[in-house]
């Protein structure tokens, strides 16, 4: 029996044009184009249009990054979004057919706040660039990180950070802290959490595993973006980013491993679940 994979992409960008959504759709499209894979994806504009997918219509969800503060405002889209991720969590705890969810950056922060997994605080300064991500002990055993070095590299762009995780809550869900931000021996502050496996089916990253070199290069070579980065971070930072974009061991590797493997593993579990229920 062939499984059909219905994928919901939750656009959290609040109408702001970005490369992240293009990258997510490309990775999902590549997955669905594989021989033996049957399915489709739909995009939902969550923050502007309040679009939320029906739980019973999709079995894989990817929730994007986005601009602005993750601090909760009580808006209707927040309530609807949290109802969705709560429903996914509840279904996975109590029902045989599981739903698989990947949370990126802004979505990751929202989930940490909503589920009270950690504190989300404003950074003293923006973290921006292609930066090293360091695995924790549990990170070395994480299947989605297999093939990534320690540290591995990813695009990081955030004004907020996830800190002070409540690991006992994650333990109750069989979850783990998987990696932290770059080591800063001269900064007497806690290193932020950069990835969490919330449950067997729910995974989140603070960084952007979807980012690809082609899109990021095109984005940062736009005169307006180039001038903005140089003004804010300096020419040295800008040139370093451009050089790292085409390094096979940096975001090219991260892009080719984490989300593709999440999709492959989710598909295999959905297939096994369907076979077991026949």
One-character DSSP codes across 192-248: PEEEEE-SSSEEEESSBTT--HHHHHHHHTSHHHHHHHHHHH-HHHHHHHHHHHT-T
pLDDT of residue 236: 83
φ/ψ of residue 196, rounded to 5: -140, 135
pLDDT of residue 261: 98
pLDDT of residue 2: 63
Tell me whether the omega of the peptide bond preceding residue 151 falls within 30 degrees of 0, making it cis. yes
H helices of the chain, in order, are 19-32, 76-94, 106-114, 167-172, 213-220, 223-233, 235-245, 251-277
pLDDT of residue 1: 53
- 101 Cβ contact list (under 8 Å, min separation 6): 60, 61, 62, 63, 85, 88, 201, 202, 203
CA proximity to 199, closest of 99, 109, 97, 267: 99
- Residue pair 181/194 in contact (Cβ under 8 Å)? The answer is yes
pLDDT of residue 273: 80
- Residue pair 137/167 in contact (Cβ under 8 Å)? The answer is no
Pairing, β 4-11 against β 38-45: parallel
Q: Retrieve residue 192's tokens.
A: 């932020």
Separation between Cα atoms, residue 177 and residue 118, nearest integer Å: 11
- 63 Cβ contact list (under 8 Å, min separation 6): 10, 12, 85, 101, 102, 103, 104, 107
Q: Which residue has the tokens 């593993």?
A: 265
CA proximity to 162, closest of 127, 191, 124: 191
What strands, in cross-sheet order, belong to the sheet with 193-197?
Answer: 38-45, 4-11, 60-63, 100-104, 202-205, 193-197, 176-180, 119-135, 152-163
pLDDT of residue 21: 94
Q: What does each of the 278 residues of the chain score in pLDDT, given as a tens digit?
A: 567 899 999 999 998 888 899 999 999 999 999 998 999 999 999 999 999 999 999 999 999 999 999 999 999 999 999 999 999 999 998 888 899 999 999 999 999 999 999 999 999 888 888 889 999 999 999 999 999 999 999 999 899 999 999 999 999 888 999 999 987 777 667 899 999 999 999 999 999 999 988 877 777 777 877 887 788 778 887 887 777 777 777 888 999 999 999 999 999 999 888 776 65
Q: What is the dihedral of CA 227, 231, 234, 240, to 10 degrees?
A: -30
- Residue pair 191/172 in contact (Cβ under 8 Å)? The answer is no
- Residue pair 67/13 in contact (Cβ under 8 Å)? The answer is yes
Model-level pTM greater than 0.85? yes
- Residue pair 276/171 in contact (Cβ under 8 Å)? The answer is no
pLDDT of residue 125: 83
């Amino acid at each position: 029996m062939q499984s059909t994979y219905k994928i919901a992409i939750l656009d959290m960008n609040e109408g702001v044009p970005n490369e992240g959504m293009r990258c997510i759709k490309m990775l999902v499209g590549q997955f669905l184009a594989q021989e033996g894979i049957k399915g489709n994806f739909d995009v939902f504009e969550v923050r502007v249009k309040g679009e939320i997918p029906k739980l019973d219509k999709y079995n894989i969800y990817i929730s994007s990054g986005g601009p602005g503060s993750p601090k909760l405002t009580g808006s209707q889209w927040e309530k609807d979004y949290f109802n969705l991720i709560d429903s996914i969590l509840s279904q996975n705890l109590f029902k045989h057919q599981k739903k698989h969810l990947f949370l990126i950056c802004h979505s990751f922060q929202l989930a940490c706040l909503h589920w009270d997994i950690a504190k989300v605080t404003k950074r003293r300064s923006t973290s921006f660039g292609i930066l090293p991500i360091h695995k924790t002990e549990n990170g070395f055993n994480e299947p989605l990180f297999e093939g990534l070095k320690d540290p591995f590299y990813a695009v990081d762009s955030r004004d907020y950070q996830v800190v002070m995780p409540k690991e006992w809550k994650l333990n109750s869900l069989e979850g783990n802290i998987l990696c932290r931000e770059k080591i800063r021996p001269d900064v007497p502050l806690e290193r932020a959490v950069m990835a969490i496996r919330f449950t067997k089916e729910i995974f989140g990253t603070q960084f952007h595993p979807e980012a690809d070199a082609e899109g990021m290069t095109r984005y940062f070579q736009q005169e307006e973006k180039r001038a903005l980065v140089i003004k804010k971070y300096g020419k040295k930072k800008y040139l370093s980013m451009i050089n790292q974009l085409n390094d096979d061991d940096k975001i090219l590797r991260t892009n080719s491993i984490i989300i593709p493997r999440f999709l492959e593993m989710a598909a295999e579990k959905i297939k096994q679940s369907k076979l077991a229920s026949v």
